[in-house]
Amino acid sequence: MMTPKTQITILMATWNGAAHLAAQLESIAAQTHHDWRLWVGDDGSTDDTRDILADFAARVPQEVRLFDGPRRGVAANFLTLLCRQDLPPGPVAFCDQDDIWYPHRLDRALDRLGAAPGVALYCSRTDLGHDPDHPRATSPLWQRPPCFRNALIQTVAGGNTMVLSPEAVALAREAGADPLPAFHDWWFYLLVTGAAGRILYDAQPTLFYRQHEENTLGRNRGFGARYARLGTIWQGRYHHWMTRNIRALQRNQHLLTPENRALLTEFAALRRRKGPRVVAGWQRLGLHRQGRMETLLMAGAAMLGRI
């Protein structure tokens, strides 16, 4: 059972993040929950990222460790850290290099996880924009319950908001990092729901998500973001992501419930078909995104073999 004294490991992936890293580190130091350690995987930064981390490590009493990342992208970086043999027991939080954590973030997550023993994943909404003092918006408030039928085609929260219970950490470590899924956050949502774990979705934002032009897809809000997501479908990127996720899930079928193993098998078979029957198959399986219009659009794309 987690308590206010529970020690939590924060995993951070960095790559040339010097522009905003110091502010993120200060927000970690300002947490109301002080019992944390920070492990960082750096994917070969050529700016001042490593110097900033070294300076931070020298100033705080908590443990800060820096590792060489695998240089295979963000998902591989996070999963490599998570699967290290020397990872201490306990819950794990994931941290991007350029956000700003609100002071209550860790306490809030641990409180929720403490009330939900077993395999559980905490995640939250985020404030977003270019200036942390003046957020421009808040990420969507999803209304449909998180579940594996949603996870197969969508994730409900960013990895920068996620905290895994010790049992969920053990689940993810057993699954490993090979074959590599499309995204670490989507992967955790798939694994936890597939194993009948609990998703603790917090409507209260717990951090400021700094927007850049290159992460427009990640903001998940508004017509621009929706257009960008649809663009990934027509470009074939979404199909590639789905293939990677399904391959990783099939490798770890033993971690899923019997019902979800069967659902995965049917979904994988459905992706090999085209035509109106594919839409009927989606309806029969209950596959859905959080928005009904997006569900219809994606089912239409599936009919054309784009999913």
CATH number for the domain spanning 105: value is 3.90.550.10
| 56 and 114 co-located in one domain | yes
pLDDT for res 233: 79
Which of 174, 196, 217 delimits the end of a domain? 217
- Domain membership of residue 2 (yes or no) is no
Q: Indicate whether 34 and 110 sit together in one domain.
A: yes
Domain of residue 293 covers: 222-303
d(CA 206, CA 106): 9
* Full-model pTM: 0.93
| Strand, helix or coil for residue 120 | strand
Pairing, β 92-95 against β 163-164: antiparallel
State how far the alpha carbon of 38 is from the alpha carbons of 20, 27, 92, 203, 226, in Å. Answer: 17, 13, 10, 26, 34
Same domain, 53 and 86: yes
**Sequence-separated (6 or more) residues with CB below 8 Å from residue 168:** 119, 120, 121, 188, 191, 192, 197
The pLDDT, as a whole number, for residue 236 is 81
Number of neighbours of residue 26 by Cβ within 10 angstroms: 14
**How high is the pLDDT of residue 226?**
53
Q: Are 74 and 134 in a shared domain?
A: yes
In this structure, the answer to whether residues 118 and 204 fall within a common structural domain is yes
Indicate the residue among 173, 201, 217 that finishes a domain: 217
- The pLDDT value given to residue 203: 96
Answer whether 165's CB lies under 8 Å from 120's CB.
yes
Is residue 1 in some structural domain? Answer: no
Predicted pLDDT at 217: 45
User: Do 107 and 213 reside in the same domain of the chain?
Assistant: yes
236 within a domain of the structure (yes/no): yes
In a domain, 124, yes or no: yes
Answer whether residue 232 is part of any domain.
yes
In terms of domains, do 183 and 228 share one? no
221-266 pLDDT per residue, tens: 444 555 566 667 767 889 999 999 999 999 999 999 999 999 999 9
Q: Is residue 3 part of a domain?
A: no
Q: Is residue 21 part of a domain?
A: yes
Are 165 and 206 contained in the same domain? yes
Domain boundary among the residues 186, 217, 248 is at 217
Residues 6+ apart with CB under 8 A from 13: 40, 41, 43, 69, 74, 77, 78, 81, 96, 97
pLDDT of residue 170: 98
Considering the domain architecture, whether residues 123 and 230 belong to the same structural domain is answered as no
Do 127 and 267 have their domain in common? no
In the chain, the number of structural domains is: 2
Residue 51, C-beta contacts closer than 8 angstroms, at least 6 positions apart: none
Residue 201 and residue 172 share a domain: yes
Residues 6+ apart with CB under 8 A from 78: 11, 13, 41, 94, 159, 184
Note the pLDDT of residue 213: 55
- What is the predicted pLDDT for the residue at 134? 86
Cβ neighbors of 284 (< 8 A, separation 6 or more) are none
Nearest to 68 by CA among 103, 92, 43: 43
pLDDT by residue (tens digit) across 41-53?
Answer: 999 999 999 999 9
Residue 294 lies in a domain: yes
Distance CA 94, CA 71 (A): 18
Same domain for 199 and 240, yes or no, is no
One-letter amino acid for residue 189 of the chain: Y
- pLDDT of res. 229: 61
What are the beta bridge partners of residue 259?
none
Which residues of the chain fall short of a pLDDT of 70?
Answer: 1-4, 212-231, 234
